[in-house]
Amino acid sequence: MAVVKIQKLRNLRSTRDFRAELLSVAASMANESGDVSILVESPAISEETIRREWERFLAVVRPAISQRLELQLGGESSPSRAGRQTHAASRYGIPSIPLERPNYKAEVLRVLVGASFANDGMWSVKNLIQTIGSSQTPIRQALNDLKLAGLVTDWGRGDVDLVPEDLTAQSLAKLQAAPQAMHFRFRRGAQIRSPAALLERALPLLRSDREGPWANMALSGVAVAQEEIPNIDLAGLPRLDLVAFVPRAATSFDAKIMRRLSDELEHEPSVLAPTPVAVTLVRADEAKPRLDVIKHVRCASEVDVFLALLDLNLRQQAAQYATTVRQ
């Protein structure tokens, strides 16, 4: 597990002092490994000013250093802001997000899409139950719902399959069969960064040799599809898609790790609002990323890339991707 060093900055008097301290920290990190969390306590300058200077600093410092830095604001505010004491975790941090119970319709679909991509043919209900690791009742109920909706074909004797190209974002949403996803946006008044800029920040965090909370994350969506299939009908990066491998027993997701992308990100509960970052949950006790798509970068499975394209309403591109990976 990577060690995070806490660097406390107390009683900052001016932006000049803050800049000098940040440069000092960055200089020391150039010759050292590990992450650094800068904790600002009892500053004389406002928190808004601190955050503005912080964003300016991150914009010019080398990515190899900025990716290992995070900012925390704690302690009392300046005397002129008496009565407005606020801890960064509540004002600027991203809270833990409650997780829904595992969605068995989504899990059944995910396994059957993977079987189609691997040309495994039909799957038995028994194999589904063993693979997903659940009792029979929720799996059979999920299969029944999917068969009634026409998404899964029952060939008799307990054998089922599906055609991934028949799936749409609308059908998954209507059946509540889409995996749980968390969307993040930039808070009002923040410096907006493009998905491409966020991807640049994410790649060092997703390195295969990286430890810590990001070790359970993988790159997904358009970024991976474009790398695997250069001629796929995709232009630009509409959103940064990530996958988080979350144990089945987990009840919450510690979204504070998203601050490594930007301190300005906040959770967007509305699934209809456009957002620059989406994190899809894979309820698994063991992370299984691919390491052969982008060198030294953890990438999601073909199934998760396909589902991310569907979630972006890129059905034609998702079908093109499915056809290609199945060959």
Q: How many CB atoms lie within 10 A of CB 180?
A: 19
Q: Which residue has the higher pLDDT, 25 or 90?
A: 25
Q: Tell me the range of 20-24, 225-229, 252-256 where mean pLDDT is highest.
A: 225-229
State the Rg of the chain over Cα: 22
pLDDT beyond 60 at 63: yes
Q: For 96-118, what is each residue's pLDDT tens digit?
A: 888 888 889 999 999 999 999 99
How buried is residue 146: exposed, middle or buried, by Cβ count under 10 Å (0-12/13-18/19+)? Answer: buried
Residue 274 CB coordination number (10 Å): 10
Which tens digit of pLDDT belongs to each residue from 156-171?
Answer: 887 899 999 999 999 9
Q: Give the DSSP letter string of 165-230.
A: GG--HHHHHHTT-SPPEEEEEEPTTPPP--HHHHHHHHHHHTBTT--SGGGGEEEEHHHHHHHH-T
> For 29-49, what is the mean pLDDT?
83
Q: What is the pLDDT of residue 100?
A: 83
For β-strands 252-253 and 35-41, DSSP reports them as unpaired
Cβ atoms of residues 184 and 258 within 8 Å: yes
Asked if 247 and 281 touch (Cβ cutoff 8 Å), the reply is no
Distance CA 87, CA 72 (A): 9
Q: Of 91-100, 103-112, 312-321, give the lowest mean pLDDT range.
A: 91-100
Domain 181-326 CATH (choose: 1.10.1740, 3.30.460, 1.10.10, 1.10.3210): 3.30.460
Q: Are 112 and 162 in contact (CB under 8 A)?
A: yes
Percent of the chain with pLDDT over 90: 44
Mean pLDDT of the 139-162 span: 90
Q: What is the mean pLDDT of residues 268-284?
A: 88
- Can you tell me the distance from the alpha carbon of 40 to that of 9, in angstroms, rounded to the nearest whole number? 5
Which of the listed ranges 92-101, 120-129, 278-287, 301-310 does the model predict with the highest average pLDDT?
Answer: 301-310
Q: What is the pTM of this model?
A: 0.74
What mean pLDDT is reported for the chain? 85
Provide the pLDDT for residue 3. 54
* C-beta neighbour count of 28 within 10 angstroms: 13
What's the pLDDT at 110? 93
Domain ranges of the chain: 4-92, 104-174, 181-326
Q: CB–CB of 70/260 below 8 Å?
A: yes
CATH of region 104-174, choose from 1.10.10.10, 3.90.1210.10, 1.10.1740.10, 1.10.20.140? 1.10.10.10
- 229, β-bridge pairs: none
Same fold? 104-174, 181-326 = no
pLDDT at residue 87 greater than cutoff 60: no
User: Regarding predicted confidence, which is higher, 290 or 2?
Assistant: 290
